[in-house]
Amino acid sequence: MTRLTLEQKAALVVGNGYWTTASAPGIPPIVMGDGPHGLRTQRETADNLGIGASLPATCYPPAVGLGSSWNRSLTERVARAIADEAIEQGVDLVLGPGVNIKRSPLCGRNFEYFSEDPYVSGQLGAAWVRGAQSLGVGASVKHFAANNQETARMTVSAEVDDRTLREIYLPAFEHIVRTEKPATVMCSYNRVNGVAAAENYWLLTELLREEWGFDGLVLSDWGAVDNAVPALEAGLDLEMPGPQRDSRDAILAAVRSGELDESVLDRAVARLSSLVEHVHSRGHRGDHLSLAERQRLARDAAIESIVLLRNERGLLPLRPGTRVAVIGEFARTPRFQGAGSSQVNPTNVEAALPAMEQLADVTFSPGYYLDERDNTSLIEDAVRSARDADVAVLFIGLPPMEESEGFDRDHLDLPADQLALIAAVAAATANTVVVLSNGGVVTVEPWHDSVASIVEGWLLGQAGGPAVADVLFGVAAPSGRLAESIPFRLQDNPSYLNFPGENDVVRYGEGVFVGYRYYESAEVAVRYPFGFGLGYTDFEFSDLVATRSSASVRVTNTGDRAGSHVVQLYVAPAPSHVSRPRRELKGFEKVTLGPGESAVVDFVLDSRSFAYWDTLTGGWLVPGGQYSVEIGHNARDIALRADVRLPAPPPRRLSLDSRVSELIEHPVTGPVLSFAMRRAENANELGGNLFDMVATVPVRRLLRFPGVGEQMRQLPLLLSLANNPVIRAVASWFGKRRRP
């Protein structure tokens, strides 16, 4: 480090191109490429909005699809294949995965994120990092943190309370950092509780490094830095893109004037230099997958991303010899990825129509125009072909201009011309199948009940067309599960009144009650719950056994076809005074079974599976009591429950600031205080309500009331006895004997 001049060091931390870092003696540059569902490597042109051309690369299903696969090993394979292409294209660091939570279905970038649930996001994000880094290519976990909307994304402050951050918006990052050692973390554009992520010392240093042990490099999202010096001090190591000469000059001036300690700059340079060393010492030359192997993987990933939502009368899979009217421009011109920085220049896009033509007797009518011209005559054609066929398969979805990075939607509706098409075709035949293409959730109202089958195809990447055909004709069974709830109405979503905020502030007013955590707790009906998905066979659960550290359950394929199911483990909390979601996902496993086969699935649980973030102590807390470990087909359909009783944690130190309820629950003060309160109730004929009246009153205040201080003269002594661990242990032992 000392070998480098101050100028060289300052130049290193401000980038040197759209996709490259600067170099210095002994520190060559590294090359970055966008991800996360395929590479966007730019050579001549450069931009972060997906406008300029990039090298051709395989486009895998975006995270909205992969997230619905609930398949860790598949996600790992996809990321490894992306890294393989990165090696081929000379890219050292891939900018993914994106693990932000889908707080609102309106977020324009939801297609790039896995789930509304932090456990799913963390598990799949970790698998992604594992896959990419297994080839020695660096990953960049983004966007850290609370970047859950596109509206005003560069300026908005996400106002999120501590508990909500810890339980919902941070765990995916935390899990990945702790388990996978990602090479880099990308800080987000937005502010978090008023402080820009790029300048947020708490976020980038106290939490990320000191608490979670991150030892990689933090880079900025593209253009996220306003003030280079405070950013460096907060823990940012690299500003991108570069070269940011203003930032470099500001850093130089700050070091020279003594405002910035040079060691802070050295620290960032050291992190950059270890990243460079790490990616350049990559032993691996890549897997050299062929184009055909990549296409096959893209197709397999797409198959697992598809979620079958509805299948009345077992219309799907379509039988051989079925005459099919394929309707909808998306069958011919697929929508397979989202717009913005993640946009891949695909190597080989395959539409559904030719794939279906190979499997059945097919007619095609476009049904609507992608530029939303009047489609009346196209609807007439479509209805005619639907009448002449056994089954109508409608390809419906959001046109590309309706959702993208950079802006949010303001409704969940499909375009009116497509709704008219569905209504007309559904009126003409009872055998209507709707295949959806959309990056964010769309409402399936009001047409839901008028069609027999609904296939949620999300965005499936370049091989999505044949994947849809495989599922429609039963060449493959659908096995995707919703990683986000589908509400009846936008208004039902818990963030509805607080999205996207105003005047550059968005308040996360729903707290921890995001997605199904709200729908389940408030018993709000949804069209399809989190975790939902059908297949072509049925599964049953039995023999659930659960303890505080593990659970196991048997799953049996009771149908007559092979298929996969996602066994979902939820924990329902013990009753406590803290408002907690009715259930939260704490484990999942995807299993594939032949007809009649069964398997035992094991889960590992730990204290975090039961904990909430306690704002009083600033730590995770597991209140004692009876929890329920639940095995469900989805968040609403719980098949089995097992009770797990957990002991109460050691009581907190008591003081005059403790609340009466804490004293009552304490093994030393509890019996004494209960006795005194019963006496007071009897004497004053309070009807047994005294405890409820004073439960939340701090002791110090209680003592202020006339007479009480007198009667409780011994309280300070009692409190110090209660804080003595030996006395507490003896009292607990007696307490347990009294109440076996």
By CB under 6 A, name the one of 142, 278, 335, 659 that touches ligand BGC. 142
In terms of C-beta density within 10 A (0-12 exposed, 13-18 middle, 19 or more buried), how is residue 696 classed? exposed
Tokens of 677: 């309160």
| Between 34 and 329, CB nearer to ligand BGC | 34
Instruction: Out of 34, 92, 221, 470, pick the active-site residue.
Output: 221
CB of 153 to ligand BGC, least distance (A): 8
Output the smallest distance, CB 222 to ligand BGC, in A: 4
Please write down the HEC assignment for all residues of 249-264.
HHHHHHHHHCCCCHHH
Do 361 and 401 form a contact (C-beta atoms < 8 A)?
A: no
Under DSSP, the state recorded for 314 is: G
Q: Which is it for strands 32-34 and 323-327: parallel, antiparallel or unpaired?
A: unpaired
48 binds ligand BGC (CB under 6 A): yes
**Of the residues 22, 95, 359, 555, which one makes contact with ligand BGC according to CB under 6 A:** 95
Nearer residue to ligand BGC within complex by CB, 406 or 509:
406
Q: Kindly tell me which residue out of 113, 114, 222, 541 binds ligand BGC, with binding defined by CB under 6 A.
A: 222
Give the DSSP H or E segment for 732.
helix 725-738
* Residue 20: CB minimum distance to ligand BGC, A: 13
CA distance 435 to 480: 14
CA distances from 736 to 132, 667, 740 (A): 53, 9, 6
- The question of whether 221 is a catalytic residue gets the answer yes
Q: Which residue has the tokens 């996902």?
A: 585
Asked whether the beta carbons of 13 and 265 are under 8 A apart, the reply is yes
402 binds ligand BGC (CB under 6 A): no
Distances (CA, A) of 605 to 52, 379, 530, 549, 587: 47, 54, 21, 4, 8
- What residues between 8 and 47 interact with ligand BGC by CB under 6 A? 34
Alpha-carbon gap, residue 345 to 89, rounded angstroms: 13
Cβ at position 112, least distance to ligand BGC in Å: 8
8 A C-beta contact, residue 78 and residue 60: yes
Is 39 in contact with 89 (CB distance < 8 Å)? yes
| Spatial separation of the C-alpha atoms in residues 225 and 319, rounded to whole Å | 57
Minimum distance, C-beta of residue 278 to ligand BGC, in the bound complex (Å) = 20
Site for ligand BGC in 336-355 (CB under 6 A): 341
Q: In the complex, what is the shortest distance from the CB of residue 108 to ligand BGC, in angstroms, rounded to a whole number? A: 11
CB 340 to ligand BGC: min, Å:
7
The secondary element (H helix, E strand) that includes residue 545 is strand 539-546
When asked if residue 409 is in the footprint of ligand BGC (CB under 6 A), the reply is no
Q: Which is nearer to ligand BGC, 221 or 304 (CB)?
A: 221
What three-state secondary structure class fits 664?
helix
- By beta-carbon proximity to ligand BGC, the closer residue of 34 and 408 is 34
Quickly count: other Cβ atoms within 10 Å of residue 372's Cβ: 14
The SS3 call for residue 435 is: strand
Question: Is the distance from CB of 365 to CB of 378 less than 8 angstroms?
Answer: yes
Q: Put residue 618 in one of left, alpha, beta given phi > 0 → left and psi -120 to 50 → alpha.
A: left
Nearer Cβ to ligand BGC (97/478) = 97
Quote the tokens at residue 625: 């009591």
Which tokens go with 340?
């913005």
Q: Is there a contact between 432 and 386 (Cβ–Cβ < 8 Å)?
A: yes
- The site that binds ligand BGC (CB under 6 A) totals a number of residues, namely 7
Q: Which is nearer to ligand BGC, 172 or 512 (CB)?
A: 172
In angstroms, give the least distance from the CB of 442 to ligand BGC: 24
Nearest approach in angstroms of CB 188 to ligand BGC is 8
Which 192-221 positions form the footprint of ligand BGC (CB under 6 A)? 221
Which residue's CB is nearer to ligand BGC, number 39 or number 591?
39
d(CA 539, CA 119): 23
Residue with the closest Cβ to ligand BGC? 48
Interface with ligand BGC (CB under 6 A): 34, 48, 95, 142, 221-222, 341
Which residues are marked as active site? 221
